[in-house]
Structure 1
Amino acid sequence: MVTKLISSEVLGASGVQFGTSGARGLVTQFTPDVCAAFTHAFVVSMRRNFTFNQMAVAIDNRPSSPAMAKAVIQALTDAGIDAVYYGVVPTPALAFTAMQDNMPCIMVTGSHIPFDRNGIKFYRPDGEITKADEQAILTEKVDFRAINDLPELTIDFRAAELYQTRYTDLFYADLLTGKRVGIYEHSSAGRDIYQGLFESLGAEVVSLERTDEFVPIDTEAVAESDKEKARFWSKQYSLDFIFSTDGDGDRPLVADESGEWLRGDILGLLCSKALQIEALAVPVSCNTIIAKSPEFEAVSKTRIGSPHVIAEFSELAKTYKRIAGFEANGGYLLGSDVSVNGKYLKTLPTRDAVLPALMLLSLAKTSSIKSLVSQLPQRFTHSDRIQNFETQKSRSILAEGKGNPEALLARIGVKDVSVSNTDFTDGLRMLLSDSTIIHLRPSGNAPELRCYAEANDFETAKALVDSTLSIISQF
């Protein structure tokens, strides 16, 4: 007997919701029927505005991802859609390839969150879905049959090849000649792509620490162990650069000649300068030196999350031609076609890790990464998070701070300063009388409370984050 289900009912009972980028939840919540419900709802919502007969699917290296992809592909088959399965590739590789083929796509990934969780990202033929698309997916009432059997997966390697070609065709083959590049591969979805890509541009590549266990690297909260590893590797292998990403390869993690990891927004700033971008959209959590940079004609500040950055592109495009955005995690979003080395680089309005890394290296061809960073205004940011922290508790703390920021400041132990200004664009961002900034925000992807801080020196920014989170964890 065939069991009939309704997508909105299945999703409503699943406990899975959309965060800042994609649907996220526990692996146990992503049952085959939940994956199918998301897929059927996505197909119906996309068919209201687009005509397509194919859809692309890819995954990260999480243990749960292949089974979820099988459920997605079976649902596509049931909906009369031909599924093109690209296997384990970076999210931007999938998104870029699907855009060239004018088809929607689905990426099974939990990005940087722990391996007991997973997620699904959805892309229209023209890029990431909007917040309105997310609500449409959750509320669609699509009848579909329960998933009883899962198909075998056959990999098409076109997405991996096209993504590499996007960058190898853009630069001269000697771009990285004489450079020793370490690639921290861990469990990144792009680990089978990056070595060949960097080598094709002339680099000597050293493979670093590949693992079969999933590593939830968060490029906004780099673990101390990973900081120590980078310094050790840089010295041991005489590296000029270290490249890594989060789990699905859309957030870069890069280190300079000394093995010091760069903040993602600093990487984005340098990349934007190299690309001669006219107008930027960046989340409010990014370093304030970006908005003050004279190279950009406009800098719009948004809520945190790529959908909010992308939504701002249409407004910027009314006035400017070279448009981009990036997040504090380093993920770079190209909002328009741009010329580089006399060649056109096509727009890619989703986070990408490779473009900012290569543009930084192109700048460092006649300099060093350390000197490029030192020439910027000396303003430092730091961030970290409390994991397994109830979202409702986070919201209660923010409500307290919005009602009486001075009282919250005293409660988290910050003394001898007052609150000069508050920003509620996304969470609670407090500018203090000594020019430091403390920004609290619940994660949109997991039960975590994030804290961002900014100061005139790194030690102060880090101390503010560490102290604030330590005290809040006792609330």
Structure 2
Amino acid sequence: MSLPPAVSFGTSGLRGLSDGFTRDVVFAHIGAFLETACADARSKEVLIGRDLRASSPQIAALVGGALLALGWKPVNAGTLPTPALAAHALNRGIPAVMVTGSHIPPDYNGLKFYRPDGELLKSDEEPIKAAAKMLFKAVPDFDPFLPQQEPTAQAEYEARYTGAFSSDALAGLKIAVFEHSTVGRGILLRVLEALGASCTGVGRSEIFVAVDTEAIEPSAMAEIHAALASGPFDAVVSMDGDGDRPLLVDATGLQISGDVLGALTARFLAARAVVTPLTSTSAMEESGWFETISRTRIGSPYVVEEMTRLGTDRVVGFEANGGFLLESDFELGLGSLKRLPTRDALLPIIAVLAEAAARGVSVGDLVSELPVRIMKADRLKDVQPEDAKQLVEALARSAELRASFHESLAEPRAIDTTDGTRLITVRGDVVHFRRSGNAPELRCYVETGSTQATQAMLSAMMAKLTTHLNGRGTR
């Protein structure tokens, strides 16, 4: 089988230009997923969810038709956050397929697969590719199909939080919800209000716009700052397109990075062990808050695998984007949060706001309790994967090239090529270059001891990356 050039299979499923999701591609990969990763399903049902992209209903109908042709029953969960779909599928012990391109451009889309026991693992990828290659040779005729929507997954996800937190957990807080086109906007508003917050929706868009919570576009940030200026809000909150990455901006207009949200959430839960990729803030080690901190490559499958290894005694994970995973059940004041080993945006938003409300402090006050390590990230779009790969590898081997980016990178204290090229300078600053695994993008992460230094270094790195990729080569 040869996939369309615009579609690739990787972490968690398929991703690419929406018109690459043809009947044959969808059938072959749905069939391969079910054949190789779903033998333990409790029934031959598959949940289908989708985000708010224009192409998502059509692709979801292809998924439903393919399932029927393969002898499985499609269950239409409708438009809902990815973690809501995953939680419901896990509770029922059945597979799930989320049609979403997450935070990437509107003309892209994807299929994210969930096994009956949780996220797709890295070890599932090659068997699925091999099985899809065989199925692609004999794709039957089938019609697109989606049954009537079942609202159970959405309701269950809302109840997960309204049942675990008290109805006054957020009492006294005034929150602006940046709705844009995130599929979680309705749930976010309803849950925060059910927990006692006074909420105002802002920035709603009926056309899909890509919001990357790790690298907010200036136009989106301008909308957020305008919302803060329009009234006395304690915070602005939001999610990315499929609702598995949080966004929280405090009352001063400062975005709280996802890894800081993750650290604060883990502390709120009194977690014993934390699993997070190497891009997350090193302030966690300096804080002394946790018994165990395990670092992984970037990608939730790596976090899931390490959490599984650590067991179920108060084990959590999160990525630098703030998506939070629970390997354990956690008892809260009112109820319990059940295990959900996939990225979730709603928990870190609620946890940080709830702690601020309970202690009568601002979100900024909570952040200040961590040692000061400021991580920021940005990315270049529309970068050919091979160009990104060559540049990242060249930065690892060439002191001359590194020096052209910044003198402190010429002879760093350490060079880590576990996932891209991660440089630690003599003074302890971190500059990490890596190409995205699911989009034509090149990312840069910078961590220093101050906001100003981090932003200055990040701006310098992005300018240098742009220069090199626009004609000067990778040497």
TM-score interval, normalised by the smaller of the two chains:
over 0.9
What is the SS of the residue equivalent to 1:330? coil
Does the 8 Å contact 1:381/1:461 carry over to 2?
Answer: yes
Q: Is 1:209 equivalent to 2:200 in the alignment?
A: no
Q: Deviations over 1:284-334 (max 9, x none)?
A: 1111112333121111110101001101012211xx600011111110011
Moved more, 249-258 or 12-21: 12-21
Q: Deviations over 1:213-240 (max 9, x none)?
A: 1111111111223333222212312111
Q: Is 1:309 equivalent to 2:303 in the alignment?
A: yes
1:26 is matched by which residue type in structure 2?
L
Does the 8 Å contact 1:33/1:71 carry over to 2?
Answer: no
Measured in 2, the distance between the counterparts of 1:104 and 1:209 equals: 34
Distance 1:43 1:21, change over 3 A: closer
Measured in 2, the distance between the counterparts of 1:362 and 1:48 equals: 40
What is the SS of the residue equivalent to 1:100? helix
Q: 1:129 aligns with which of 113, 116, 120?
A: 120
1:97 is matched by which residue type in structure 2?
H
| TM-score of the superposed pair, with normalisation by structure 1 | 0.94
Measured in 2, the distance between the counterparts of 1:111 and 1:299 equals: 28
* Partner of residue 193, structure 1: 187
* Partner of residue 89, structure 1: 80
* Partner of residue 50, structure 2: 59
- Please show how residues 15-34 of structure 1 align to structure 2 within 5 Å: 16-34=7-25
Q: 1:344 aligns with which of 336, 345, 352?
A: 336
Shift of 1:109: 0.3
Q: 2:442 aligns with which of 449, 454, 461?
A: 449
2:120 is matched by which residue type in structure 1?
I
Q: What is the aligned residue count?
A: 463
What is the SS of the residue equivalent to 2:445? strand
* Partner of residue 366, structure 2: 372
Shift of 1:438: 0.8
2:403 is matched by which residue type in structure 1?
A
Distance 1:198 1:416, change over 3 A: closer
Measured in 2, the distance between the counterparts of 1:88 and 1:100 equals: 19
* Partner of residue 5, structure 1: none
Q: Is 1:106 equivalent to 2:100 in the alignment?
A: no
Does the 8 Å contact 1:95/1:123 carry over to 2?
Answer: yes
Shift of 1:22: 3.0
2:296 is matched by which residue type in structure 1?
T
What is the SS of the residue equivalent to 1:467? helix
Shift of 1:147: 4.6
* Partner of residue 244, structure 1: 238
Moved more, 57-66 or 132-141: 132-141
* Partner of residue 473, structure 2: none
- Please show how residues 355-366 of structure 1 align to structure 2 within 5 Å: 355-365=347-357, 366=359
Structure 2 regions of 5+ residues with no counterpart?
Answer: 469-475
* Partner of residue 419, structure 1: 412
Q: Deviations over 1:72-112 (max 9, x none)?
A: 00011111111110111000000000111110100000100
Moved more, 44-53 or 300-309: 44-53
* Partner of residue 328, structure 1: 320
* Partner of residue 78, structure 1: 69
* Partner of residue 4, structure 1: none
Q: Is 1:158 equivalent to 2:152 in the alignment?
A: yes
Does the 8 Å contact 2:42/2:93 carry over to 1?
Answer: no
Does the 8 Å contact 1:21/1:445 carry over to 2?
Answer: no
1:423 is matched by which residue type in structure 2?
D
Measured in 1, the distance between the counterparts of 2:146 and 2:69 equals: 15
* Partner of residue 26, structure 2: 35
What is the SS of the residue equivalent to 1:470? helix
What is the SS of the residue equivalent to 2:237? strand
Measured in 1, the distance between the counterparts of 2:146 and 2:447 equals: 49
What is the SS of the residue equivalent to 2:366? helix
2:420 is matched by which residue type in structure 1?
G
Measured in 1, the distance between the counterparts of 2:141 and 2:400 equals: 53
Distance 1:209 1:44, change over 3 A: same
Measured in 2, the distance between the counterparts of 1:414 and 1:88 equals: 49
* Partner of residue 273, structure 1: 267
Q: Is 1:437 equivalent to 2:440 in the alignment?
A: no
Q: 1:175 aligns with which of 157, 169, 173?
A: 169
Measured in 1, the distance between the counterparts of 2:7 and 2:409 equals: 43
Measured in 1, the distance between the counterparts of 2:115 and 2:466 equals: 39
Distance 1:298 1:210, change over 3 A: same
Moved more, 233-242 or 222-231: 222-231
* Partner of residue 471, structure 2: none
Measured in 1, the distance between the counterparts of 2:369 and 2:198 equals: 28
Measured in 1, the distance between the counterparts of 2:421 and 2:285 equals: 19
Structure 1 regions of 5+ residues with no counterpart?
Answer: 1-8
Q: Is 1:407 equivalent to 2:407 in the alignment?
A: no
C-alpha RMSD of the superposition: 1.7
